[in-house]
Amino acid sequence: MDLKNADFTTIFNVASAQNKWLVDLHWFTLAICTIIFFVVAGLLIAIIAKFKTPENDDGSEPKQTRGNVRLEIIWTVIPLLIVTVLGVLTAIVMLIVNPAVGSKKPDLVVVGHQWWWEYQYPKYGVTTANELYLPLGKNSLIEVRSADVVHSFWVVAFGQKMDAIPGHPTNMWIHPTKKGLFLGTCSEYCGAQHGLMRIMANVVSQEEFDAWIKAQSVVPVPSNDPAVARGKEAFNSATCVQCHSIAGDAEAKAKIGPDLTHIAQRKTLGAGVLENTEDNLAKWMQNPQQFKPGCNMPNMRLTDEQAHDIAIYLESLK
């Protein structure tokens, strides 16, 4: 996958209003921890330098001390004050970053599957997979669900991650503040392909987002190319339709695998393992296990010709 266009992924690359708070809190905590560390390390070094037994030691025992109540109170009370400050800041940032949802409806529903992501935009009736679009400058409420095992949705530059737990929908807010492509990976271990369950989040302007939604809402019309017709025929007669759905194709209605309605608009295949080209798509269909061992799509045992036709058909679904 070509990651050249992706923004540098670190938690300090702030791409959401929420992550700004997280990062500020992070620097503050890091500063405190660094100071404490250097106090401890400095004391240890001083002790080593100062209290090493000298060469000409007389073998006498050093002065014995049992403790010092004042010192002990100091090193109990100061840490208590520090954790109190951290505790108060924790509450403040938590409430700012994730305010109560109340009866608000989600803008985006993320569903984790083994090993790909489904994205539903309930307000527009749009469903897509693996490549996510969010409008810049709007606080989006995201609901995270799971279709099978526990996953975790984490786009690094957005800051917060949220687990996808079966039977326990969770919520978080993301307010993107920077345009671009931001990367993530499933971050709760979920089985064979956990490491290749990638997230590609595109933050675009409101206009671009509206245009994208509009394009997604159109039912694609396959062209009159005979190869396309052959491909559609092959797609519908092979077992593809038992897992995938394509709007406008009466036979493809299943919801097990990714929705393929506008697959030609996506940049990657297999949750980011391959670039989306006709060639790659044909190869993928002939042996998905080669690219993503353990994934739930079986080898379809297609001939080269069938695979080629289906790839032409799918790539016509713009």
Residue placing its CB nearer to other proteins in the complex, 12 or 124: 12
Residue placing its CB nearer to other proteins in the complex, 180 or 191: 191
Residue placing its CB nearer to other proteins in the complex, 104 or 214: 104
**Closest distance between other proteins and the C-beta of residue 3, in Å?**
5
Q: Which amino acid is at 20?
A: K
**Closest distance between other proteins and the C-beta of residue 29, in Å?**
6
Sheet with 198-204, side-by-side order of all strands: 131-135, 198-204, 180-185
Query: Is 203 within 8 Å of 164 (Cβ atoms)?
Result: no
The DSSP element (H or E) to which 89 belongs, if any, is helix 69-97
Residue placing its CB nearer to other proteins in the complex, 199 or 252: 199
Q: Which amino acid is at 24?
A: D
Residue placing its CB nearer to other proteins in the complex, 45 or 215: 45
Residue placing its CB nearer to other proteins in the complex, 248 or 293: 293
Residue placing its CB nearer to other proteins in the complex, 248 or 294: 294
- Packing angle, helices 69-97 and 17-51, rounded to 10: 160
- The 3-state DSSP class for residue 311 equals helix
Query: Is 269 within 8 Å of 283 (Cβ atoms)?
Result: no
**Closest distance between other proteins and the C-beta of residue 247, in Å?**
27
- C-alpha span between 220 and 317 (Å, rounded): 6
Burial 158-188 (b: 16+ CB within 10 A, else e): bbbbbbbbeeeebebbbbbbbebbbbbbbbb
**Closest distance between other proteins and the C-beta of residue 78, in Å?**
9
Query: Is 152 within 8 Å of 162 (Cβ atoms)?
Result: yes
**Closest distance between other proteins and the C-beta of residue 148, in Å?**
7
**Closest distance between other proteins and the C-beta of residue 276, in Å?**
16
Rg (C-alpha) for the chain, rounded Å, is: 27
**Closest distance between other proteins and the C-beta of residue 114, in Å?**
8
Closest by CA position to 164, among listed 132, 121, 117: 117
